[in-house]
């Protein structure tokens, strides 16, 4: 029995080695064929490039193509499709359909081999095959969330010609329950459809997940017509939706009323308070200094840090508020104020523009009055100078 077991193991090892060598030989032969077909069709590729922008219909390559030869031409056409837009891209898409590449890959979606189905989905997305979207949606529904599902979702986003198809794809992705809204937004923006109208549509969708995806996708997108919707979503009952809406709303540089600022700075979700505190310095809302000073005592580190950062951006008055918090504050408020002051003072000599140098010198005078032992000015009032160096 022992000898028999040894012989069986040796036979399996030998068979495995032979199989590996066969696979290696097959792979090398395929690479040689790809190189040969690339060289063979070099003139055809030049012909396609020369006539992409001409008012002529592109012709298929002459002769019958075998599988590897068709793959070489399809890969080159897909590479150009990703790089080009407009009429040139449409010509290449039509050429892929006439060559039978789209039809072949749609048949491959029904293959028993998982790898072949995923490769077909990737190529169909590259060729913007709208006729394959129904099958791709069914394939996505059968695929658990992971890299393969993301490949299929991108293919659907590139190929879809109806907003409902994009919506179905996003809902299937979000059904995994994972925090993938940023990834879903990135996939959404690959669509051929009008992204601005899609974003407006999803902002009004009853599904909170789609609303959040639209809010994330709007970063860097100019959608002026969505501002009224943002104003409404600022009061949403969904925490994540409200936080993203506040960030976007504040990034549009609105003219904020004191009551609105106070409401946002006292929101029960720290994400909303942090977004508001971060925006107030950028908006130069000097009237919000008392609220930012109070926010230095917030329980959340992000809120305290963004409040100190905004106070540092609000000129002498904001910096003086930081100095007062560093002297009279306690616990986290004092530590946050001291940290921000040290960061500001560490930038001495790093200012190239005159305005930056003047602003820093004003802050340095305030710093010396509070921490350098100088007598306080009338402007500081009843604040006493404190000796010692607190920059360490």
**pLDDT class for 154, splitting at 50, 70, 90?**
very high
Does the pLDDT of residue 96 top 70, yes or no? Answer: yes
**Span 226-276, pLDDT tens digits:** 566 666 676 666 777 777 777 777 766 666 667 777 888 888 888 888 888
* Percent of the chain whose predicted confidence (pLDDT) is above 90: 32
Does the pLDDT of residue 374 top 70, yes or no? Answer: no
Q: How high is the pLDDT of residue 375?
A: 39
Query: Measured in whole angstroms, how far is the alpha carbon of residue 40 from the centre of its chain?
Result: 41
**pLDDT class for 376, splitting at 50, 70, 90?**
very low
What Rg, from alpha-carbon coordinates, does the chain have? 31
Residue 68 has what DSSP assignment? H
Locate the DSSP E strands across the chain.
Answer: none
Quote the CA–CA distance of 16 and 24 in Å, as a whole number: 12
Whole-prediction pTM value?
0.68
**Span 182-195, pLDDT tens digits:** 899 899 989 988 88
**Span 302-313, pLDDT tens digits:** 999 999 999 988
Q: Are 229 and 203 in contact (CB under 8 A)?
A: yes
Residue 328: how many other CB atoms lie within 10 Å: 11
Q: What is the 3-state secondary structure (H, E, C) of 232-300?
A: HHCCCCCHHHHHHHHHHHHHCCCCCCHHHHHHHHCCCCHHHHHHHHHHHHHCCCHHHHHHHHHHCCCCC
Sign, CA torsion 341/346/348/354: negative
- Please give the mean pLDDT across all residues of the chain: 83
Segment among 63-72, 193-202, 235-244, 292-301 with least mean pLDDT:
235-244
Q: Which two tokens stand for residue 44?
A: 């055809």
Does the pLDDT of residue 380 top 70, yes or no? Answer: no
Q: Which two tokens stand for residue 306?
A: 């963004």
Element (H, E) at 49: helix 42-50
Quote the CA–CA distance of 77 and 95 in Å, as a whole number: 9
Q: Are 101 and 119 in contact (CB under 8 A)?
A: no
Q: What is the mean pLDDT of residues 210-221?
A: 80
Quote the CA–CA distance of 61 and 74 in Å, as a whole number: 11
**Span 155-189, pLDDT tens digits:** 999 999 999 999 999 999 999 888 888 899 899 98
Quote the CA–CA distance of 289 and 294 in Å, as a whole number: 9
Residue 49: how many other CB atoms lie within 10 Å: 12
């Amino acid at each position: 029995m022992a000898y028999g077991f040894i012989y069986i193991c040796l036979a399996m090892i030998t068979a495995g080695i032979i199989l590996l060598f066969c696979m290696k030989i097959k792979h090398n032969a395929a690479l040689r064929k790809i190189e040969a077909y690339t060289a063979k069709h070099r003139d055809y590729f030049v012909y396609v490039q020369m006539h992409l922008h001409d008012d002529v219909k592109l012709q298929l390559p002459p002769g019958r193509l075998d599988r590897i030869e068709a793959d070489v031409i399809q890969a080159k056409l897909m590479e150009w499709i990703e790089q080009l837009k407009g009429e040139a891209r449409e010509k290449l898409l039509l050429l892929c359909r006439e060559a039978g590449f789209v039809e072949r890959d749609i048949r491959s979606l029904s293959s028993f081999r998982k790898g072949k189905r995923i490769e077909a989905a990737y190529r169909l997305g590259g060729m913007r095959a709208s006729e394959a979207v129904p099958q791709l949606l069914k394939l996505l529904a059968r695929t658990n969330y992971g890299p393969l599902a993301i490949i299929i979702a991108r293919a659907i986003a590139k190929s879809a010609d109806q907003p409902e198809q994009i919506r179905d794809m996003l809902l299937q992705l979000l059904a995994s329950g994972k925090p993938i809204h940023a990834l879903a937004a990135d996939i959404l923006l690959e669509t051929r459809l009008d992204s601005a109208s899609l974003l407006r549509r999803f902002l009004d969708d009853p599904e909170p997940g789609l609303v959040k995806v639209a809010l994330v996708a709007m970063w860097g997108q100019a959608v002026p017509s969505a501002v009224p919707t943002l104003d409404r979503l600022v009061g949403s009952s969904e925490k994540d939706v409200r936080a993203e809406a506040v960030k976007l709303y504040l990034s549009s540089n609105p003219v904020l009323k004191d009551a609105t600022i106070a409401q946002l700075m006292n929101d029960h979700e720290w994400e909303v308070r942090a977004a508001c505190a971060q925006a107030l310095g950028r908006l130069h809302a000097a009237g919000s200094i008392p609220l930012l000073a109070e926010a230095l005592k917030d329980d959340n580190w992000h809120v305290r840090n963004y409040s100190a950062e905004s106070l540092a951006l609000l000129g002498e008055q904001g910096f003086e508020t930081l100095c007062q918090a560093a002297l009279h504050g306690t616990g986290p408020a004092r530590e946050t104020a001291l940290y921000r002051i040290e960061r500001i003072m560490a930038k001495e000599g790093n200012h190239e523009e005159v305005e930056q140098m003047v602003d820093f010198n004003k802050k340095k005078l305030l710093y010396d009055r509070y921490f350098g032992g100088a007598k306080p000015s009338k402007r500081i009032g009843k604040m006493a100078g404190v000796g010692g160096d607190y920059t360490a």
